[in-house]
Structures are given as C-alpha cells and as structure tokens.
Structure 1
Amino acid sequence: MNTEMEQEESRLLELSSSLMIERRDEDLRKLVPEARKIASSLSRIKGAKLIKALVENYLLIDSRSDFAVGILVDCIQWATEEERTFLRKSLEVRLMLLYYERKEYTEALNLGANLIIQLKKINDSELLVRVYLLESKCYLGLDNLEKSRTALNLAKVTAYSIYIPPTEQAEIDMHSGILSTVDSKDFKTAFSYFYEAFDIYDNLGDMTAERALKYMLLCKIMLKQNQDIPRLMSGEVELNYNGPETACMIDISKAITSSSLNQFMKTVSEYSEVLEQDPVVLLHLEKLQENMMEQNLIKILKPYSRVQVQYVADKIDLPVLQVERRLSKMILDKKLSGILDQENGVIILFSRSTWSRTDTLWELGNQILEQLHPILNKQTHILNNI
C-alpha cells in the first residue's frame, strides 16, 4: 500500500511539473484536490511536501487571479481538518506572501497578526522571521515607515537566535537596504546592506544578485560617487550581470556625470519598462531628475545677468511653465540669486555681493518689524480706550 501511495506521489509531482512547464493552469488546478486525497494517506512530511510542491507549481504560472488565493485557502482548510498544524502555518505564510505580491497589504497584515500569536505559541522562530519580514514589507508598501522599521528589527532579533538559510539572510539585508534609502535616506548604510545581499546571492548563483547590484549602483549615484561605478562593474561582475537593470543605472550615471538632462531623459524613456517595475528606483528618479534640471539651469544662466525664460526653456528643451516653476523654487531655496519678472518673461540674476546685501536688508527689516510690533499693539489698545 505504501509503495502504491509513493508511486502516486511521484506521478503527481512529475505531472504537476509538466503542467507547470506547459503553463496549463486549469489542469494543474484540478490536480490539487486529487493530491490532497493522496496526501491524506502519506506521512505528514511527505504529504506536506506534495501539497506545497503542487501549490508552488501553480503559483509559478498564476499568482494574480483569485484562483491562486482560492487554492491556498482550500489547502489551509484541508490542513486544519487533517490537524496538520505545521503545514497549515506554512501555507498561511505563503498566503500572506501572495497577498503582499498582489499589493493587498491590509489582508496580509491581518493574516500576519494572527500568525505571529500562533507561531509564538508553538515556538516556530523560522516562520516567525518570515512573517515579521513580510509585515515590514507590507508596512513599507503602506508608507508606514515606523511600523516597517519595528517589524524589520523584530525579524532581525528573531533571526539572530536561530539558523536561517542564506537566501533568507540576503532577503533581510536587501529589505534593510531598501528601508534605509526610503526612511533615513542613508545611502551609505544602504550600500553596505545591498553589498551583503549581493555577495550571498552571487555565491549561490542566484540572479537576484543583479537586483542587489542595481541598488548598489543607485546608492553610488545618490551619494554622487559616480566615479566608483566602473570599478564595481569590472571583471566577472560585468560579465555575469550585464542585463538591462544594471545597464540602465550605468547610463543614468553617465548622464549625470556629463550633466546632460537630455541624455538622462532619453535613458529613462529607453528603460521605462524596467524602471516602472521597480518602485525603489522610481522613488529616487524624481529627485535625480530635479537635480539634473537644476544643474542644467545653473549652467545655462551662468553667463547672464538678465535672460528671457523662453530662451532658457528652448536651451533645456522643456516647457516654459515647467522651467519658470523650477526657477522660482530655486530662488526661494536660495540656489539662485535673482528675481523672476513674469510680466516681461525674464529672470534677473544678482551677483553674490548684491544678493548678500539684499538678504541682510531683508533680515534687518524683519527685526525692525518685530521690535515695532509690541509698540503698535500698545498704541492700538490706547486708541481703542479713548
């Protein structure tokens, strides 16, 4: 009987792999209930292996539809009825990951909150690390940086007390780097985390290393250390990781080094498909573009004391209104010394000494008004009582 069941197990595993390769999701979906019947007759370990294998094969070809959620929910229900606690918890963590991938963060967090309580009771630290890490990612997706940081710290503390696989450690390092770029804008620390993740993935031959390398290049760009990029992309690294993700960052670095906004915009347009799939890079592209635009504007304005805004817009190849707004902001931020004459459509630039004197007079005027304020209030009070 056992031999029969084992043969059925092997048949189902082979069939599910074939269906996955052929991307026959409907046939694979129908195979899951049959697998559950066979798993009931197998040992808990073999049964869990069979169910998880079929679920993963299905999710490889369909992780977006409601069928994917349905399969996991049904398998969790089956595991509950069969009193297979560890399999149920493992499937619930996988469902939480699926919710995260579908950007259904609230559903993932609700499931995670219950899982944390239950996993603490059975002292399953390995799954607890995964839940805390997923919780941190979900909070980041909801822009709740404080809770994201707290959940990540809990994942790290729990991971220190047990052995976790290298890929999981790399995932923690990767997420730590991402959170550092978003939360504290600490690109130096982020680079260290990305480097650790890259090293692990590279040694394992996991192509996720290319994503870690892309973030390393992003950190160098944000730190204005573009000169380090050729060194990072030399030797075996250049040979092994020369896909569009790294090529995009290299071209952006070249555009910034040459202070060419046109080249920067062209690169962003050329790699739009790659960039749109990465919210981490997209988050910083706007800042990079602003910096590039300001550098180009300063370069164009440098020879002039008075110049038409239309001329500046033509030189930088951007709409007049966009250029006018940026110039106005640069003046307010004291990156430019001057005023905008909107009536005549010109920007009048001051020398540093003129701006310094104007700035001093402005501050002096404010101080005089502050000193006069209590005197005027007193006089107003006296007049009101007459």
Structure 2
Amino acid sequence: QGADGGGSSTHLMEIYALQIQLYSRQKDNKKLREIFNKAMAVRGGIPHPRTLALIQELGGKMHMAAKEYEFAGKTFFQAFKSYDEAGDPSRLRCLKYLVMASMLHASTINPFDSQEARPYKDDPEIVAMTNLVQAFHSNEIHTFERILRKNQGRIMDDEFVREHVEDLLRTIRRQVLRRVIRPYTRISLQAIAKELNDIPVPDVESLLVGLILDGKLQGEIDQVAGVLLKRADRGQESSETALIPPDPEIMLCDAFDQMISTLEGLSNNIASTKLNDPHHMRGFGGLTA
C-alpha cells in the first residue's frame, strides 16, 4: 500500500475508515487490527485530519480491548492531535481516553505535560480527568475515588470510559497496595483493606493473587490467619516485620516469657557461683551453702 499515489492513497484511507468503523461496531478485532495496520502503512496523499483521527481513535480502542495500554495511549494522542488540527471538539473525548490509557499503563508521565494537551487541562470537560490523573500519580486513592463519585456526569457518561473504570480502580489499588506492603514481611489483610479505602478483604486477596501471578510480589497468603507472608527481595532487608494490631494477651505472655527467661538466667548464674565458691553466700545473713 505504501506505493499508492497521492489521490489513490487518500481514497484508500477513506475506504479503510469505513471498514474500521464497520469492524469496530461488529467488535471484530481481528479484522479491525488488520485494516488498521494497513491504514497506518499508507504513504502519500493527504487524508482529511478528521478521517485520520477517526481511524486513530478506533485503533486506540482496539488496543485498549487487547489491554495494550501503552500503544493505546500513543494512538489516542495521535487521534487527539488530528482532531485538534481539524478543529473538531472530539479532541476532548480523545484526550480523556489518552489520560485513561496512561493511567492503565501506570505511566509516570502526566499527559497534560505535553505542549499539545496542556491548554485543555482546565477545560470544564477535562478538569475532572486532570484531577484524577494527579491523584493517581500521587497514590491518593481516597481522592481518586472521591473524584470519580463527584464527577459522574463528566466521567461516567462516556460508555467507553465507564467500561474501564473498574480497571482504573484496580490499577491504582495495586499501586497503593505495593507501596503499603513494601516495608513489611508480614501484614494483615485487614490492615491492607483499610489502606485501600476499606475495600472487602476478598478484594485484597484478589489483588495480592494478581501481583503474585504477575511476578510483582514474592509471598503467600495465609487465609486462616488473615495475613500476607512476604518474602523480602534479595539484597533488601525489611524494616518491619508486621502491621498487625497487637493482641494484649500475646503481649502479656511475651512479657512473662521474657521475665521468666531473665529470672532463669539469674538463677543459673547464682547456682554456678555457689558451686564454684562455697563461701560466696556467707555474707547474706550468715547463710552458708
């Protein structure tokens, strides 16, 4: 397709755009990917920016469906720029999708740092996403969930965004969870749940299992005791061993054990002294061994 002349290339892109819309509606991602790749390989010609933007937007959604979040973000960014060039208000929609993809990719780069996106970060349609990505990068899960609740209209009215909200919540919870457990080798699931805005313990277990299966966490879950037993990373010592509410009875038993151990040590020292020096105890009230 790269050898097409200018006019034929432009016409070809129009045909590809129609095919991509059709396969997108049919959710035929295999054919959609095939045509999208062909469209991106076309050289020559000057398709209308809106046509190119449409192809890129649907390509971004295709990548999202395949959980290819990095590629999705890059494609949405190109769609945003194409819509912007065409003066099409759909640029704001693609900017939302770009922000969402960057969070799902767990990117440390704020999309609004780009020269093209920066002018729109305070737009009434976008400001909720601006605040959302700031909370995401700061691991402020309480703020993140509050923004979602307070901006139902701005965020949740878009069906495509709504489809990925649970994935967004799971992503930030995984981020916060990894930060919470980092210093510990043993931590209660209830303590983790509290840090994650009081989510149910089974949800904590699901997040932990996901991290373990992904190779991002070395450890195991003791469901009977309700704790995570984490193996410290090689070359990294754990600064704490537990984040479990102290049990008064256990603390008292530990204190008694320590006291008994100390007294036994003293008793053994005294007995040893008496055996080695029969006259040692005479100074205590005239007692002899």
Q: 1:270 to 1:232 in 2, by over 3 A?
A: farther
Equivalenced residues, count: 228
Task: Please state whether the residue corresponding to 2:19 is helix, strand or coil.
Answer: helix
Whose helix fraction is larger, Structure 1's or Structure 2's? 1
Residue 156 of structure 1: how far off its partner (Å) = 6.2
Residues 308-361 of structure 1 deviation map (CA, whole Å, 9 limit, x = unaligned): 32232233211122112322333343433322222222222333359xxxxxxx
1:308 aligns with 2:191: no
The letter of the residue matching 1:268 is L
Distance 1:234 1:162 in 2: 24
Residues 129-158 of structure 1 deviation map (CA, whole Å, 9 limit, x = unaligned): 55643432343344421111233356667x
Aligned to 2:150: 270
Aligned to 2:242: none
Task: Please state whether the residue corresponding to 1:169 is helix, strand or coil.
Answer: helix
Task: Please state whether the residue corresponding to 1:273 is helix, strand or coil.
Answer: helix
The letter of the residue matching 1:275 is I
Residues 267-313 of structure 1 deviation map (CA, whole Å, 9 limit, x = unaligned): 22233334344344345443332232122223333343333322322
Among candidates 113, 136, 153, match of residue 231 of structure 1: 113
Among candidates 143, 148, 157, match of residue 32 of structure 2: 148
Residue 263 of structure 1: how far off its partner (Å) = 1.9
- Equivalent residues of 1:177, 1:193 under 8 A apart: yes
Aligned to 2:84: 202
- Equivalent residues of 2:80, 2:95 under 8 A apart: yes
Aligned to 2:54: 171
Distance 2:188 2:67 in 1: 39
Aligned to 1:320: 201
Aligned to 1:337: 218
Distance 1:163 1:216 in 2: 25
Task: Please state whether the residue corresponding to 1:347 is helix, strand or coil.
Answer: strand
Q: 1:303 to 1:164 in 2, by over 3 A?
A: closer
The letter of the residue matching 1:212 is C
Residue 173 of structure 1: how far off its partner (Å) = 2.9
Q: 1:228 to 1:260 in 2, by over 3 A?
A: closer
Distance 1:169 1:131 in 2: 11
The letter of the residue matching 2:34 is T
Task: Please state whether the residue corresponding to 1:352 is helix, strand or coil.
Answer: coil
Distance 1:161 1:180 in 2: 25
Distance 1:331 1:198 in 2: 36
The letter of the residue matching 1:348 is L
- Equivalent residues of 2:111, 2:117 under 8 A apart: no
The letter of the residue matching 1:136 is I
Q: 1:125 to 1:305 in 2, by over 3 A?
A: closer
The letter of the residue matching 2:227 is V
Task: Please state whether the residue corresponding to 2:217 is helix, strand or coil.
Answer: coil
The letter of the residue matching 1:167 is R
The percentage of aligned residue pairs carrying the same residue is 25
Residues 36-81 of structure 1 deviation map (CA, whole Å, 9 limit, x = unaligned): xxxxxxxxxxxxxxxxxxxxxxxxxxxxxxxxxxxxxxxxxxxxxx
1:261 aligns with 2:141: yes
Distance 2:165 2:189 in 1: 25
Among candidates 187, 208, 217, match of residue 70 of structure 2: 187
Residue 259 of structure 1: how far off its partner (Å) = 0.9
Question: RMSD between aligned alpha carbons?
Answer: 3.7
Q: 1:343 to 1:174 in 2, by over 3 A?
A: closer
Residues 342-386 of structure 1 deviation map (CA, whole Å, 9 limit, x = unaligned): 2222222333359xxxxxxxxxxxxxxxxxxxxxxxxxxxxxxxx
Provide TM-score, normalisation by structure 1. 0.48
Task: Please state whether the residue corresponding to 2:123 is helix, strand or coil.
Answer: coil
Residues 204-240 of structure 1 deviation map (CA, whole Å, 9 limit, x = unaligned): 432112123323333443454444434237897238x
Distance 1:264 1:337 in 2: 28
The letter of the residue matching 2:207 is R
Residues 14-33 of structure 1 deviation map (CA, whole Å, 9 limit, x = unaligned): xxxxxxxxxxxxxxxxxxxx
Residue 242 of structure 1: how far off its partner (Å) = 0.6
Among candidates 96, 102, 107, match of residue 214 of structure 1: 96
Aligned to 2:123: 242
Aligned to 1:292: 172
Task: Please state whether the residue corresponding to 1:318 is helix, strand or coil.
Answer: coil
Most deviating of 315-324 and 217-226: 217-226
Residue 262 of structure 1: how far off its partner (Å) = 1.9
Residues 76-130 of structure 1 deviation map (CA, whole Å, 9 limit, x = unaligned): xxxxxxxxxxxxxxxxxxxxxxxxxxxxxxxxxxxxxxxxxxxxxxxx9988755
| Larger RCO: 1 or 2 (CA < 8 Å, sep 6+) | 2
Distance 1:184 1:305 in 2: 32
